[in-house]
Structure 1
């Protein structure tokens, strides 16, 4: 009788443990804005904004991010143009080398620019991270949220920037790159806030002027030959923060006329689900390469703004009949989701 009881208990415990391993709930961490991951040799290398340094996490399962190995990659030297307000880092593998792109300033937001570090080691937790310098286009203006991608064997960068020297509007720009740390030529404007849902920024204080129109956090996305840029719109300090979509129609990728904007946001907050201001996302595939997932940050309550209450979350996305991404609705925090497929 004891053996039967032990067997039953073992089976129940094993079933529960198996279930815990195969499902998860959001958020992945208590805090972490601007989440980004890179999949390499069976591991996800994850990062998010910390503000004063660059951190990297390593895990086989992003759903188990809270137990991931982590390492301090880089701390900026004090008193430099890139020593403060380090935002939206992204780790990329280009030509067999690791690069991390990030925005930073000297403590004055007007001086925000993009920078890049290089590591020639195959293991980003090893080797040495060296500053390659500022990544700037012409004209050299305020710039954040750089994302790099390869199109027809050429490297490009997209980012959010100001037209001039004042904080009145954030646009999406694109430029070709000579190499991973040098932009080739002028920047090209491909999107600016035009719809009402991109112009919500009514918090009035010195750091966030009223009515700031925002397009930021651009992310390249390709599926079945279709190319998109998903971006964040409106002020992150509002509950209106949401994701918009640009579609590449073909032709010259540096031609503004080659891009069209979806008239409505493609991913917004859900009061019913208790998820507010979802934004600054990235994308990743499941370990078996069969599923597409969105990684994003959001708040659990209204009015929590751009602070440290933003937490990383993820959910599977699908594709519409016309080839556009269907990001769905942010899932509630108590909803159990299956982990990304492994086989």
Structure 2
């Protein structure tokens, strides 16, 4: 039987149970400018993009799930629909996601690339999503987990990509400025590659970036290593006045900032996002499993559940995520 840990929600004394939403990996919760909350994540069938909306954070748990887009029956965008993110940019909604080719005799389901959808209406749950195409990068290679953020009047895209010139490395993190939500305006800069011991367990991976700007710094969290109990969160930071497209502006934490807690019974926390509750309290959104060992192919396992918990800030201004809270 699954037990549930309760996180206090300061909105009217309610509570947020964890797991927050079952069988939803790579979760993202965003609070719109009107105060409404939206949720998206990878679905275990990897064949569609779903959204939920609610007037309260807790309301997302039982909100109806709307399918806003389904995979193509053939060609690109036909398989492995992964890690959607919903963003409000200049008066329109955008979804970034990764996809491979539809299964066929000639298709490559592992030809994973980044794509963008656009919705010009105020309600992202309504119809009207339009495909804007692939995010083209100078290297045509495995790429995924696109996220976007604005800083000092410039909008950036950060993502994970395989560089064939780096043997033994699965994916590094790259950053570029955007000309529009689906087009790069600058040459990508490699911010981080998996080189530390904890980043290279089973797989040499940096992926799942997400940005937050606070306390005079720009922070980018990311996930590292394989998708089992070794999965964990790293942290990059740069001064808010620095040139974010200069790799030298960024510093990497030498240790994970959020990792498995066997004591709490939460394993492989990662692919996080940030949101706030109704009172403006910072919340960490992430997925994790409730056990250490995965049987069979991890891609066939739906047990990565969305979790939400508050986090604070250290005296030096860096985020303090603590440890995963137990489900009991």
Residue 295 of structure 1 pairs with residue 285 of structure 2: yes
Quote the residue 2:26 is aligned against.
34
Quote the residue 2:42 is aligned against.
49
Normalised by the length of structure 2, the TM-score is 0.89
Q: How many residues align?
A: 305
Look up the SS of the partner of 2:58 in the other structure.
helix
Look up the SS of the partner of 2:38 in the other structure.
strand
| 1:59/1:69 contact within 8 Å kept | no
1: CA distance, partners of 2:143 / 2:11: 44
Given candidates 80, 83, 92, the residue that maps to 2:87 is: 92
Look up the SS of the partner of 2:179 in the other structure.
strand
Normalised by the length of structure 1, the TM-score is 0.85
| 1:279/1:298 contact within 8 Å kept | yes
Shift of 1:152: 1.3
| 2:79/2:109 contact within 8 Å kept | no
Higher helix residue share: 1
Deviations along 1:89-135, one digit per CA (max 9) or x if unpaired, are 00101000000000001153541000000010011122400000001
Shift of 1:42: 2.4
Shift of 1:219: 0.6
Look up the SS of the partner of 1:100 in the other structure.
strand
133-142 or 82-91: which moved more?
133-142
| 1:193/1:214 contact within 8 Å kept | yes
Shift of 1:30: 2.2
Matches within 5 A, 1:117-136: 117-136=117-136
1: CA distance, partners of 2:160 / 2:264: 29
1: CA distance, partners of 2:246 / 2:16: 42
Look up the SS of the partner of 1:197 in the other structure.
helix
| 1:173/1:188 contact within 8 Å kept | yes
Q: CA RMSD in A?
A: 1.9
Quote the residue 1:312 is aligned against.
306
Quote the residue 1:8 is aligned against.
none
| 1:137/1:185 contact within 8 Å kept | no
Matches within 5 A, 1:160-171: 160-164=160-164, 168-171=169-172
Look up the SS of the partner of 2:18 in the other structure.
coil
Given candidates 262, 266, 278, the residue that maps to 1:271 is: 262
Deviations along 1:204-256, one digit per CA (max 9) or x if unpaired, are xxxxxxxx2011001111113311000001011x2110000001134211111
Look up the SS of the partner of 1:268 in the other structure.
coil
Look up the SS of the partner of 1:172 in the other structure.
strand
Given candidates 64, 69, 79, the residue that maps to 2:74 is: 79
2: CA distance, partners of 1:149 / 1:114: 16
Evaluate the alpha carbon distance shift between residue 94 and residue 155 of structure 1 in structure 2; reply closer, same or farther with a 3 A threshold. Answer: same
Deviations along 1:31-85, one digit per CA (max 9) or x if unpaired, are 1100002212221110000210010001233334331132110112210211110
Structure ID, larger Rg? 1
Quote the residue 1:9 is aligned against.
none
1: CA distance, partners of 2:144 / 2:93: 20
| 1:38/1:45 contact within 8 Å kept | yes
1: CA distance, partners of 2:110 / 2:266: 31
Deviations along 1:256-296, one digit per CA (max 9) or x if unpaired, are 1000100000000100100000000000012232x110000
Structure 2 residue runs of 5 or longer lacking an equivalent are 1-9
2: CA distance, partners of 1:316 / 1:80: 42
Runs of 4+ in 1 over 4 A off after TM superposition: 18-21
1: CA distance, partners of 2:16 / 2:184: 40
